[in-house]
Amino acid sequence: MPDPVTYSLADGIATLAMDDGKANAMAPAMSAALNAGLDRATADKARAVIIRGRPGLLCGGFDLKIIRGEDEALKAQMRNAGMDLLKRLYLAPQPIVFAVTGHAVAMGALLLFAGDIRIGLAGDFRIGLNETSIGLSLPIAGIELARDRLLPTALSAAVINANLYAPSDAVTVGYLDAVADTSGFDQAVLDAAQALAELDPEAFAETKRRVRQPTLDRIVARGA
């Protein structure tokens, strides 16, 4: 099976491109591949990391075949790996830029809460947490990250009511920071990564930790 994440490095910026040929599901293999890419970016002393999907899709969420299957150990492995990856990205010392190349739902939307800059591609795409519409409850870690990054007045609609948003509306509620059309998307992503890469890395990492550690502490306090 091909690696679901392709790694590249240029001018001190690492890019992790997700493509499993299907829904870019956050199965154990995808979480492992993203972790490996982050490890490689660290070893390469990358000044920033771009995580992107394939055209039309960032991530469709956890693997529903596993969720609806009977292997409870595999379900737990997938959930735990996904939540651990979220926490790692959220506190990553390197700047993390998400290039949201299309739909980002469920776990795909949760990933966006861990980014430092999130650039969405304009188009007929949907971004959001659809868990309660498909019979799933959001994990505590996901709820706390949503509480941290979403507009407070949008939290209930986004998290409890499973609202999905077009890219421009996703900026308003807090899933994205900006939207670019096809002609300017890649350059907007690169510009964002380069701007973050110019910051002092030690100051960036420590300030980010000071801002975000309390959210992780709340997650731990709630037993997640």
What CATH number is associated with residue 109? 3.90.226.10
Give tens-digit pLDDT for 22-78: 999 999 999 999 999 999 999 999 999 999 999 999 999 999 899 989 999 999 999
pLDDT tens digit sequence for 165-188: 999 999 999 999 999 999 999 999
pLDDT in tens, 108-154: 999 999 999 999 999 999 999 999 999 999 999 999 999 999 999 99
pLDDT score at 110: 98
Nearest of 84, 64, 77, 67 to residue 29 by alpha carbon: 77
Distance CA 147, CA 145 (A): 5
- Identify the pLDDT of residue 74: 95
Q: Which of 36, 30, 21, 19 shows the shortest CA–CA distance to 62?
A: 30
- DSSP H helices in the chain: 28-43, 64-67, 72-90, 107-112, 140-149, 155, 167-173, 182-197, 201-221
Instruction: Kindly tell me if the per-residue pLDDT of 1 is higher than 70.
Output: no
Write out the residue range of the structural domain in which residue 145 sits.
5-221
- Domain count for the chain, please give it: 1
pLDDT at 221: 93
Residue 106 has pLDDT above 70, yes or no: yes
Q: Which residues pair with 98 in a beta bridge?
A: 51, 118
CA distance 11 to 190: 11
Query: How far apart are the C-alpha atoms of 143 and 163, rounded to whole Å?
Result: 14
45 in the Ramachandran plot: left (φ > 0), alpha (ψ -120 to 50) or beta?
left
Our CA angle for 138, 143, 147, nearest 5°, is 155
pLDDT for 2 equals 78
Give 215's pLDDT tier (boundaries 50, 70, 90).
very high
